[in-house]
Amino acid sequence: MEGSKINSILTIKYMCNERENQFFDRKSAKKDVKELANHVAGFANASGGTLVIGIADDGKIEGFEDYKDKYNNFLKVTSTDYLKTIPSYENETIDVINYKGNNDKILLIHIRPSINTIIRNAKDEVYLRQGDSTNKLSNDQIKALELDRHEISFEEQINVNSSPTDVDLDMVRIYSESIGADEEDLLDVLRARRFLVNDNLTGKECLTNAGVLLFAKDPSIFFPSARIRVIKFEGTEMQTGTNLNIVKDKTFALPLYKQIIESQKFVDTQLREFNHLGNNGTFITVPEYPKFAWEEGITNAITHRNYAISGEHTKVFIYDDRMEILSPGDLPNIITIENIRKKRYARNPIISRTLTELGLVKELNEGVSRIYREMSEFFLEDPIYQEEKGLSLKLILKNNIVMRNKRINENLLKDLKINKKWSELNAMERKIMQMIFDKGEVGTAEISEIVKRDKRTVQRVLKKLCDDDLIEWVGTSNRDPRRIYRIKE
């Protein structure tokens, strides 16, 4: 079948070298069938994906030569022997040369997301694929998952208003190259991945909703809110009427991949640069925000928004002191503001998988966690996630503009004292100096939290830096718990 043909193009190199992620896993044939049945269920309960049996975790092609009876057993991995409910899937067997140089085979199980049913194993347990692992869910998590099943069907619905003439062939070409199918007919690639399907009622070929969003020349023709608008304001608040303070305003209505790329390029042109005390003790220019933080914020907003709701598009607001990224729709029920750093759940699994294949969507829970980490490394406040009346998710990134401007106005770049003494400082002393420079004024507790050292240790370091005439403290007395430290002029 065509689907298998395209999937085969992806296989050997991809399956041996690709890092395991939300949509892909490989397992040795020596594994227990019951264990792998839970992985199949986990994929079905999440975003779907491909489970490869016969390739070890390190990418070695073992095949089934050493486990001759296992192949037929693994063909039953989706049977009622192991699963109480059966997911939608396709098996694919591929001939390979194993690590011994002998003819062998591997088994691929292509699992589709379960739309209306939670897939349970024979023990009535529920597993969910999250990042690169498959986890057993608690009863509360199962209830939350049940509430989200209806959202998957939106992506697979046939959009009867679309046709092959709506396809952005350049976008399909980019995608084909990313999955190793660049020698295939472009529309055949969409057909094989079920982005382009036949509508039984009209008898014509149409894009699915996911196909429209990912590959239509202008998805907003079909979904008016499927666009992103970037607005830059002068000041820290939005003004209206005669006080309207919009400096730049641009909208992008493109296939989602291009929408992400082009909007990120535009945002990059609107951001400022600031002075920063570098790792070598000299003053360097750094961007207003960590590049990864806001790029990942935009990518997530476009990838995981709720496209089934109308009337609201994705927005990026750039103020003097912060950036706000708004993604329409509330959080999927299994994700909360409290666990957003550790849990993953794709509202749009087909879109998410495709953008992952295109190299945009981060896996292994690294996306949101890295936003936090990079903001911390820039000595900026933690990102703030807010649910806006259940209608949208807002990400706020603050840039500490007040202190950074103060650093420039004090003209510290001409002071070579720090640079001259830099080589005498250890790693912790340097990090504290960088933090004080970027923030302007910092207390002991905040320093202790960022450098991950107890207050007593931090106080000893601060005293040494004061003795070295690099920083000074401001407070009512030497024992004032609220005293702060700043660069000495």
Task: Give per-residue pLDDT as tens, 44-77.
Answer: 988 788 899 999 999 999 999 988 788 888 988 8
The pLDDT score that the predictor gives to residue 4 is: 45
Which amino acid, one-letter code, is at 29? A
Q: Are residues 68 and 199 in the same domain?
A: no
Q: Are residues 242 and 389 in the same domain?
A: yes
Q: Are residues 128 and 254 in the same domain?
A: no
354 within some domain: yes
Q: Are residues 58 and 190 in the same domain?
A: no
Q: Are residues 380 and 234 in the same domain?
A: yes
Is the CA virtual torsion 340, 341, 343, 349 positive or negative? positive
151 within some domain: no
392: Cα separation from own chain's centroid: 17
Residue 242 CA to residue 245 CA, distance in Å, equals: 9
156 within some domain: no
117 within some domain: yes
The pLDDT score that the predictor gives to residue 422 is: 82
Cβ-contact 29, 74 below 8 angstroms: yes
Which residue positions in the chain have pLDDT lower than 50? 1-6, 9, 364-365, 406-414
383 within some domain: yes
Count the neighbouring beta carbons within 10 Å of the beta carbon of residue 350.
26
CATH number, domain containing residue 288 = 3.30.565.60
Q: Are residues 423 and 397 in the same domain?
A: no
Residue 237 CA to residue 377 CA, distance in Å, equals: 27
419 within some domain: yes
Q: Are residues 305 and 394 in the same domain?
A: yes
Q: Which of 172, 202, 219 is the last residue of a domain?
A: 219
The pLDDT score that the predictor gives to residue 179 is: 85
Q: Are residues 193 and 237 in the same domain?
A: no
CATH number, domain containing residue 427 = 1.10.10.10
Q: Which of 137, 153, 187 is the last residue of a domain?
A: 137
For residue 320, which of 288, 284, 367 has the smallest C-alpha distance? Answer: 288
The pLDDT score that the predictor gives to residue 364 is: 41
Helix (H) or strand (E) segment spanning residue 403: helix 401-409
Q: Are residues 267 and 313 in the same domain?
A: yes
Q: Which of 401, 431, 462 is the last residue of a domain?
A: 401
**How many structural domains does the chain have?**
4
Helix (H) or strand (E) segment spanning residue 464: helix 455-467
The pLDDT score that the predictor gives to residue 413 is: 43
Please give the torsion angle defined by the CA atoms of residues 333, 338, 344 and 349, in that order, rounded to the nearest 10 degrees: 40
Range of the domain at 79: 2-137
410 within some domain: no
Q: Are residues 200 and 97 in the same domain?
A: no
370 within some domain: yes
CATH number, domain containing residue 75 = 3.30.950.30
Q: Are residues 298 and 391 in the same domain?
A: yes
The pLDDT score that the predictor gives to residue 451 is: 83
What contacts 24+ positions apart, CB below 8 Å, involve 172-178?
A: 172/215, 174/257, 174/358, 175/214, 175/215, 175/257, 175/354, 175/357, 175/358, 178/357, 178/358, 178/359
Matching residue, tokens 């023990």: 123
Q: Are residues 129 and 197 in the same domain?
A: no
Cβ-contact 87, 53 below 8 angstroms: no
Please give the torsion angle defined by the CA atoms of residues 461, 467, 473 and 479, in that order, rounded to the nearest 10 degrees: 70
